[in-house]
Structure 1
Amino acid sequence: MVTKTAIDQLPSLPQVLVQILDAVQKDNADYQRIADIIRHDAGIATNLVAVANSSYYGAKNCESIERALLFLGTDVVKTIVITACIKQFFGHFNQQHQQFLKRFWRRSLITANFAQVLATLTSYAAPDEAYLCGLLADVGQLVTLTSNEQQYLAMLATVNNDQQLLAAEQQQFDATHCEIGADLIDNWGISGFMADAVRYHHEADQLILDAHHLVKIVNLASQLSTADEIDDQALATADNLFGLNESLTRELFNRVNSDVDAIANSLGIDIADTEVTGQRYQQAHQQLGERLGELGELAQLNAALWQARSQDGLQEAAQRSLFLTLGISGSVLFLLDDESQKLCSQTSGQQPQAPNQALNFEIPLEAGRSLISDAFLNNSQQSSTQTSTLTVIDRQMLRYCQSDILVCWPLTQSTPEDNKAVGVLVFACTQQKLSELEQRSNLARQICQEIAGAIADNQHRFELIEQEGPTSSQYQQHIREAVHEASNPLSIIRNYLEMLKIKLGDEHDANEGLELIKEEMDRVGNILLRLKDPGEIAESDTSVNINQIIETTAHIFEDSICVTKNISLEKHLDSSLGDTTGNPEHLKQILTNLLKNAVEALQPGGKITLSSEASVSFSGRDFAAINIEDNGPGIAPEVKKNLFSPVDSTKGQGHSGLGLSIVKKLIDDMDGSIVCRSNPDSGTQFQILLPN
């Protein structure tokens, strides 16, 4: 079976990824433009259609790229593309891999275009479905490549045609790319004959004469995509399957190949480029890295803006981010006052050039009054190097910002309904700096959008905070924002871990540690989700293997903090203990908190003992027991009185004092009990009882 991980790792040409990334980042992203670019790449198209047809999204029969795109929306597509870009950029594929991808890309695109043309010519009812099926005809090759790169590339060098390829794949991998691609489409649950068309696209024409229309279309399209020159077998197949004469078939062949060459040229893809350096590929790879860098800068800007607690704080965050991302210093924000319909200057208390100058400008929204008002009214950048033509307010701002050229960028928030202008960003720079900014105009535009969105979205929140102080609902909103921002680095780290595992290979010793890190990150993500929406996530008890969770959790501590503090950890687990009812994530969090407390209480050379018991009677009920015991100094009597209540921690700064209260709540949720015994002579023991 083709796994989701395999689909996520399907490679794409960086030229295509850059184009898609630019398209999804634009204002009011054009669905048709995005779909047109995705139609040029089998890897991204496969990922998109797989997600749309997954049980998580629940679409029914998304059999075209356009339908999948409309169903998922640009936000999901953006996530898919960014993930693919990260994996592609850090994949560092070799030259042999690059050449294969270019050849694969051209053939899949030719097959797709032929399939659509043939569908239209032969009156097939769904030409878009035929196009997608042709695009994915050889996707099984990409799937095999991701899991067996060196072996598959070496095998490709030994074959000269499709039939030899199928025989070699069957011998080395026990499955052909036709079967793998068909299984992938079958997994989507799409009705119809798409999977069959992929499964039989290399069958002899005599065997598919009576097959479904789509099967015959993709089979002929695949044959017509094999070489630069059409061969006699392809001409015979065209005649046998659809009665197409030689003249028409050659005309279609020349037209489709010409169209695909034009697409390749527009994307900067040189199929014939065989230089060792792969110059165009490397340039595209560099562009991909630049786009990912810009996404990182935007994420940092977004985080800084949402952390602001006041309008002044937001100004400071915006100005600081502008300096860090674009090197713009001395900026001033003019924001729209809805009541007066004027642009009012806003500066932070950290203006570096003139800390003692207070700005208090108001500019009416009238054309020609200022470059600033013109930028707002025209929703376009305004700049001038001719000081003599500037109004006095513009000259004052130029002197205030201390440089050669005054630049005014409109701040416009894009919403599904409309674009909302909220103000103007004003700064000054040199001609060289302005040229650099024009080269990064896409990033500059997105930064202005982020600032505008933060200004518009936070204005009401700031007013409430100033008037009433934070309410419980606002606290919950802040929690959601913090969880949202924390999720971004977690996702990035998780992607890096996946790439690191791929680079190290399946047999590397570090894989076990990487898997543990990934599991713990997933657990952190689940905890954050519970924090974000406590009422929306129903925690259900399932079957729990207590000994297995003890082993896993103990292993994390043994290989990390116990080693650094020279603390021994012994385990005595009851092998007769079977599965019991409970929540595995809760139990892992409970053990983590208790072990962490024990380690922090012990001096170097200390000892922790973990044990389990299959059956303990308590109050007439039968329980499974977990014991965590240390030989530390014990718990002070005044602390024991409120042991499981949220109190100020005795561990000093950086500790919340909430650990044991959380432990108690999680155990209560599982209908269990916890008992603590502690004295200075024998240390501390916690016993957890879970119902059998």
Structure 2
Amino acid sequence: MDNVIHPEGKAALRVKEVLRLSSLPHVVLRLLEATLDEDASVADIARVAGNDPGLTARMLRLANSPYFGVSRKISTIEDAAVILGLQAVRNLAVTISVYEFFSGVRDTPGFSLPVFWWHSLATAIVCRSLAEAAGYPEPSEAFMAGLLHDVGKLVILQADAAAFRSVHHGAHGDQRLVEAERAVLGMDHAAAGADFLEQSRLHPFFCDAVRYHHLSPGEVRAASGLVRIVHLGDRLAHRLPAADEAELRALAAVLDEAMGPVPVALADLRDRLEREIRRLAADLGVRVLPPEEGEGPRAADATETQARLRDRVEDLSLLVASLQSMVAATDEDQLFSALFQSLAVLFDFETVFLATVEDQGVLYGQRAFGSRRDDLARRLRIACEPGTVWEAAFEADAPVYSGDYFREHPPRVIDRQVEGLLGTAYAVIPLVANGERVGSVAAGLDPSDWDRVRRHVSLLRLLAHQMAAAVRGYRYRLKWRRERQFNDTLLEAVPVGVAVVDPQGRLLYANPEARRLLAGGPGEAPAEGGDVWRTLGADPGVWDELLARVHAAGTGEVHFRAGGGAPEALPRWFHARAANLTGFGDRGYLLVLQDVTTARQLDEERKGRSRWLREELAAKTRELEEAQAQALKAQRLATAAEVARKVAHEVNNPLGIIKNYLRLHRMKAAAPGEEATFEAINREIDRIAAIVRQLEVFSKGAPSAGQGREPAQPGSVVRALDDLALLLAEPMREKGVDLRLEVDEGLPPVQLSDDALKQVLINLIKNAEEAIEGAGTIRVRATRHPEEADRVLIEVADTGPSVDAEVKERLFDPFVTTKAGENVGLGLSVCYGLVTGAGGRIQLKETPGAGAVFEIVLPAAASGR
């Protein structure tokens, strides 16, 4: 078989060879590898991109265009990676690099690069609009897929320009072009472009959207979302610019058939398409021409293009120098002067009025360069109302010449004042930074100067954007410095410790008060990175507890005890409050520390004082209650004693008379057998007499109502007990009762006479004897009071039964008794009266089990103290 390859076959091989050898710049390849590496950080990606500042600048310019829809300026590759995502960074790099890669391709008959890029940008804009309307999750991806959908044409043109011309010659319409490419090259430009992008490591769905953008409508309906968007974007980009209402309805039907109902305003998209193409081309630095202006190659274009390129390089060099002077400005006057110098050097402006946006929609005059009338300029306030030249410039984001604008819109007085300040008509140049209105420049120009300037409008717009960014950046920096100064002053003066720590509790920042608090801990004040909690001597669990609360609620607080430093030092108490904080490495926590040791001590003192007051109040209340009870009891005793005295007095006389008459009657008329009767009557009379004698004793022992007893002669406890031992011990022993007397040596005399003391003791001992009712023990013990040195304590204890609870409460009340017979229950009342009358006290002690213990406390006599 013949091995000769016909020319078309050689062209196909050359295309495949170009695809095989095609390689993006080394930096871009490394950037793609980094974005595909799961372990690569955002910092790694930024470091790789930083090796090519030109690539980085172009990527950021494209990322900040309106077609990526970011709400704030992207200043670094890190910002782009975080805000747009790694996929978008990868697409950005490839898009910029594709343009650079094919920058050497030249126009050829039937093909114009400016027209090619016009259609590519139109397709990108339409694709983004369709993606947004259809709810596609990555509109920026659709934008870049549309931008690169025809890149295969550049691959073929670079491989073999002659074959490219042969294919395009006579091919009318995309479908015929595709068929001709397949016939000559064995592949079409869509496949060539997809293969090229696959080698650039873009993801398969992106490449598929390029590969299949020339599918038939029937095939497209079954394709993925991105394929359908790029296919329709290509068709609409061709037909929209010249579409009338009928054509718009036809295109809407095509959309409905391919994608279903999609809310796209095609008329609006048609009306703004050319404006957005030119704006985007300026952002990318791409020369574009609409199809009607760029059909067919021209030999003179190459020379003209090279001349424009030289001019552009020169302009950009001057622009870079101007930007450097703006960046180096240290105050606003220097910044404004640098702006004027840039305009004067690049565009030969002689008079310039500069105004900045200070209030919403109002421009405040700042400088009038070249006129020496800054004082007048600063008086001007310009409202940017609809229908004004200032608002028109802002809306177009492009210069507007007053000489042209005022032909259709009558100027206001303020507009005439600006013209008078500059001495001529002027071009209003808007200063807009990432959609934010920063100010306006009015440059004095006559019509011929304006014709010269507007040929370089893209450079002027670029300079205006950079000027706006410089002004906004300076003001942001100034605001930041002021806020930083305020915050630093506040942190220096605030009387609480403010620190920033990392998740391990290591110090990242501390204000003076925090450093002072940390310096007072057991360890030295930590430098940056030191352990705050170890320095304070706090339990490690304190930070864990505080972190848990912060993670649960966003903030948390704890009170904790910290070490006191020197061994003899007291511990310190702190209150710590923490909250999440960003801006310090991966993660930080704001920590507010307060030394609450003094407050805690004061609180403890307050609690102690409050506790003491409560105890004192309770004690005084008990004393008052006891005093009231004693007073009431004394009053009752006095009343009972008075009654007893009167009863005894009234009963004794007739009782004596009755007994005498009974004795006489017994002597005179005693009949046999009546002796027993007389004896019984006599015993009852004696019993009544005994009761009366008890009443007499009680009336003498109790104090009179409302009065105390007269001071008695001091009595001796030792002597009284000795006498009682002689009197009672033997008779009681015969009854089986063991009376034991225990007396400490050196007991002082007491404020109770011997007789009264004996009466009290006999009463208690006899009560104990009667309670025992048989064999038992009675113990009497006298000693100094263990807690009251000036008092004598006497205890009378027995082994009899315990006293009933009902009786205990009224034990010392008169006429209370548990005994039968002639006892009327006055003995203990007499004892109570005698003891309390002497300033002592008597009580029945609580004892477990059987038996009773009476306790008598008597004050020592004055001579015995």
Do they fold alike, i.e. is TM over 0.5?
Answer: no
For the superposition of Structure 1 and Structure 2, which TM-score range results when normalised by the shorter chain? 0.3 to 0.5
TM-score (structure 2 length as normaliser): 0.29
TM-score (structure 1 length as normaliser): 0.34
Which gives a bigger RCO, structure 1 or 2 (Cα 8 Å, sep 6+)? 1
